[in-house]
Structure 1
Amino acid sequence: MVLLLGYCGLIFLLSHQPSLPAPMLFLHQDKLIHATAYAVMAFLAWRVFLNTNQPRFMVALISIIFCSLYGVLDELHQSFIDGRDADVWDWLADTLGATIMVYLLHRFKYRIPAK
């Protein structure tokens, strides 16, 4: 739980910074960054929710919903930061990254011993 909350805090802090120019390596690289960041969050959420004695399908669903809702809140938060704005495509990339990670964890029955 501590890792998940710490990671959420890190995303909040990073998205609270004004947008800085970054080298463009390829088209839509920011969407890949969003998807990757939220895939990591989904992995951490999966680990937390595995300890709730819910069926694995519910763990998967709750993990995706958690990440997607956090993505919405993060985009809303960014709308108040100079040089940033809320972008539905960023939120979709967040949700897609989380969904892909949870699918892979659920599909391959990733076995992490519960604490």
Structure 2
Amino acid sequence: MTERSSRFLPGLFAFLALLYAIVIFSLSSLSGEDIPALPPTAPQADKLAHFALYAGFGVVLYLAFSQMRQEKITDNAITLTLVVGTVYGITDEVHQYFVPGRSMDIVDVLVDFLAILAAVGIIVLVKKMRQSE
């Protein structure tokens, strides 16, 4: 990696994490009427959507934290990703409580956490596989 790209990447990943958080917030701001009804054949589609969104969020959060210049942050990128992602998921559910036609769901928070955990787990696994080559 060149010096220029190593200076550019932390800001890019932080921007992507912020953008991702804004997208999640925007989707959570949709009223219950604005969300298409789930077909009876896919009753848990909202949980799959949560998992996909928060797995992606976990990836960009990890990339943002792991590329920071502060050693304390990069050394704790996994923990920070799990904590920040989960806290964001909790605040997202609290926010939905105040959106007409939406509700707060603790299961969604659990799915969000598991998605972030899975994303971080895959990242760690890939890094270990690359190191063993």
| Superposed pair shares fold, TM > 0.5 | yes
Q: Does 1:83 align with 2:101?
A: yes
Q: Where do 5+ consecutive residues of structure 2 fail to align?
A: 1-13, 129-133
Aligned-residue offset at 1:23: 2.9
User: Corresponding residue for 1:15?
Assistant: 28
CA-based RMSD:
1.7
Whole-angstrom CA distance in 2 between matches of 1:78 and 1:10: 14
Q: Between Structure 1 and Structure 2, how many residues are aligned?
A: 109
CA 1:3 to 1:30, structure 2 compared with 1: closer, same or farther past 3 Å?
same
Aligned-residue offset at 1:101: 0.4
- Which structure has the larger Rg over C-alpha atoms? 2
TM-score (normalizing by structure 2): 0.76
Greater relative CO (CA pairs within 8 A, separation 6+): 1
Of all paired residues, the percent bearing the same amino acid is 29
Structure holding more helix per residue: 2
1:92 aligned residue (106, 110, 115)? 110
Whole-angstrom CA distance in 2 between matches of 1:48 and 1:62: 10
- Could you list the structure 1 runs, at least 4 aligned residues long, displaced by more than 6 angstroms after superposition: none
* 2:62 counterpart letter in structure 1: W
